[in-house]
Amino acid sequence: MILKFLIIIGVVYFSILIFLFVFQRNILFVPDRSAPTLTETNVPEMSEVNIETKDGLSLTSWFYRGKVEKPLIIYFQGNAGNISDRDYKARFLIDNDYSVLLLGYRGYGGNKGQPSEEGLRKDGEAALEFASREGFEVSNIILYGESLGTGVVVDLGTRAKFKGMVLEAPYTSIEALAKKRYWFIPVSYLLKDKFDSINKMSQVTSPTLVLHGDSDKVINFDYGRQLYDATPQPKNFVMFPGGGHSNLFDFDAGTEIVTFINSLE
């Protein structure tokens, strides 16, 4: 009986391993694949643009050109929804005269392709090439990442010195998050997309603002603090008492971002 029980437990355990390995990207990436419509958002003045990646995808994204003396803010969303869900952030930034690019990831918002760490890295590189063609130098670009998107921003931030980086509700690595949730699984051997931000931060040379709510139930506040501690100067950390994972603009995060950017002038 004991042997039979152990065999059943083993079969169940390995079935879980196989399931998590095969479907891990369905867990990590939760896109709204429907194509959003600009006229139904709070930012109808933005323009729909197509950003071409090196691996042949055309990413529908939204762009607005602000005042010439203001930097371009390239926004990298979190793992769920699509760029239309972030229109309120774009609205705030546009109202403060910034140029704004909401990057539509592969597999999100009607775009073809399947998201992955490598894929999102290519999407980010394509966004920078688009910005260059539009006349924006790296020194006049702010990279703004939300949650999952902070990993893309950190990776790009190791390659050049940007005007600044904003990391909203960041993590140290997806591996660390997965180990916490799936403590009974050998995550290190199974994980395809690690987004290892904390081990890349020492290579970042851009001024960095980290924003995190102390009531974040998705990515614990401690992860944001650890990432900040690993970030070279100049840097700033803003903690929002009572702030959750997706509501920091309700706690005046937008003002903190504007203050940070103004300090870079």
120: left (phi over 0), alpha (psi -120 to 50) or beta: alpha
Domain at 52, CATH number: 3.40.50.1820
Residue 5 pLDDT more than 70?
Answer: no
- The percent of residues in the chain predicted with pLDDT above 90, rounded, is 85
Number of domains in the chain: 1
Show which residues are catalytic: 147, 216, 245
Express each pLDDT in 191-232 by its tens digit. Answer: 999 999 999 999 999 999 999 999 999 999 999 999 999 999
9: confidence class by pLDDT, cuts 50, 70, 90: confident
Signed CA dihedral, 146, 150, 92, 212: sign only: positive
Question: What is this structure's pTM?
Answer: 0.95
- Domain enclosing residue 221, as ranges: 2-263
Residues 6 or more apart in contact with residue 241 via CB below 8 angstroms: 213, 214, 215
What is the residue-averaged pLDDT of the chain? 95
Express each pLDDT in 110-133 by its tens digit. Answer: 999 999 999 999 999 999 999 999
Tell me the residue type at 220. N
Comparing 73-77, 189-193, 258-262, the range with the smallest average pLDDT is: 189-193
Tell me the residue type at 259. T
Residue 95's SS3 state is: helix
Comparing 25-34, 171-180, 183-192, 229-238, the range with the smallest average pLDDT is: 183-192
User: Would you say 29 and 192 are in contact if contact means Cβ atoms under 8 Å apart?
Assistant: no
Express each pLDDT in 94-115 by its tens digit. Answer: 999 999 999 999 999 999 999 9
Residue 164's SS3 state is: strand
Express each pLDDT in 179-193 by its tens digit. Answer: 998 888 888 888 999
pLDDT of the residue at 24: 86
Q: Fill in the DSSP letter of residue 241.
A: T
User: Would you say 236 and 135 are in contact if contact means Cβ atoms under 8 Å apart?
Assistant: no
